[in-house]
Structure 1
Amino acid sequence: MSTVRNGPLVGLIVQFVLLAGLAGTTEIGVSGWLAGLAYGVALGGLLRHGLRAVGADRLGPADRVTLARALLVGGVLALVVSGRGGTAPVAALVPLTAVALALDAVDGRVARRTGTTSALGARFDMEVDAFLILLLSVHLAPSLGGWVLAIGGMRYAFVAASRLLPWMRGTLPARHWRKVVAATQGVVLLVAAGGVLPPVAATALVAGALALLVESFGRDVVWLWRHRPAVAAVEAVHPSRRPRSAPLAARQQPLATRPAPLATRQPV
């Protein structure tokens, strides 16, 4: 299982190199260094745990792409933390974010072409997306207002609610619009972070993205509520079959339970 150890370790080394590069071109400060390194260590530990949980011994091609995205997000984290008050250097923040968002379309295609899809790969991809959106929301909050944090925090709130409310642990039907809305958030926040729009236009654009997100999550919540009797009945008759990773597809993916390379993920 040496590759299980080496994959996350290589990721941590690359994260250090990326932080060093940012330090040489921008001022990330001690706080940025600490945040970036802590993120790299946590990422490596969680990735290693996930690989072992599914009995995988290596990262597959699609997951290497996702890992590259995750490391870029570590750089975004360092910039956001060091630039408290929304002053992170746009010249570094925007390119890192743009590449991370662009690669989001690559890992899914690689997974489909290589026939390597699994819940673990999809979960890895989704967590990277969610954290990047949260960071962009934090970066924009000082300039646009605290309400922007709702974009980055909504998915985490949904997951937290599903742990408290059994009826929210059902399996949602696949819906393409959900994916469109999720992708829109990243693009809109990137444009707003780039400072290419007047403040009023940026605020209106981000508010529109938030409205789409509320509609998407709201529709899912309503669907789960309407179908709660069926979920409750299954749990009452078969308590052992109670789903552990609840919200569905695009909200929260369960970890795979059978041995498979992390390379796999669900088709996007």
Structure 2
Amino acid sequence: MKKKTAEDIIRQYKSGYREFKGFTVDPPGNFAKNRLTGIIFEGTNLMGASFERAILERASFSAANLRGANFKGANLAKANLKGADFRGAIMRGVDLNGADLRWANLEGVDLTGSIIASANFEGANLKNTCLKNADPGKWWWKAKLADAKMDGTILPDGTVFSQPFLEGGDEFIRDSVEVAEPDEPAGPDYKKADRLYYEGLGDIAGIQAQIQSGIPLTHPKVQDLIKKASKNLPRPWQ
């Protein structure tokens, strides 16, 4: 794999060049605070690089090695991050609005305070990822999370997701589910799970969904909510 320095890349970018595919940036580069809108780092080894507070809107890091990289406060809005390896990366306060994170590896990454509205996490590895205090936007519970690995993920409201997300989990919205915060570890407070919304027509038995707090659909409280909501569902023959 050919090598380039961060200084070479920044200089060439300013001269109008945008594609830096398949390179190894060595030594680990410093791109902090640089405006690199639309830059293409597909398949590039950027391990340990610093992009702190960099402007990277619509950039492409598809299949890039970003392990240990620093993206703190960076703008990655609408960036292509498909299949990128972010393990060990610093991602606090990152703008990921509309970013494509399909099949990205975010295992153990701290995304505290980041903007994740409209981001696509389909198939992403979110195991032990922290999304606490992240801005999920209005439709977080319609986010594309099919096949995402979420065991141990800390969700925006602080809830720890302890069960695998079911396929089709993007077909519902959690309107207001709260979880108790006892002194000792305990299960969710089902009394506070007041409403569950979902989309679909006809027989609700086929709906595949799971409340974000890990409450199983078989729990009597959830079954009662579904029965009540199903009365308002339009039927195919109506």
Task: With the length of structure 2 as denominator, give the TM-score of the two structures.
Answer: 0.30
Greater strand share, structure number: 2
Question: Which structure is richer in relative contact order (CA contacts within 8 A, separation 6 or more)?
Answer: 1
Task: With the length of structure 1 as denominator, give the TM-score of the two structures.
Answer: 0.27
Greater helix share, structure number: 1
The higher radius of gyration belongs to: 2
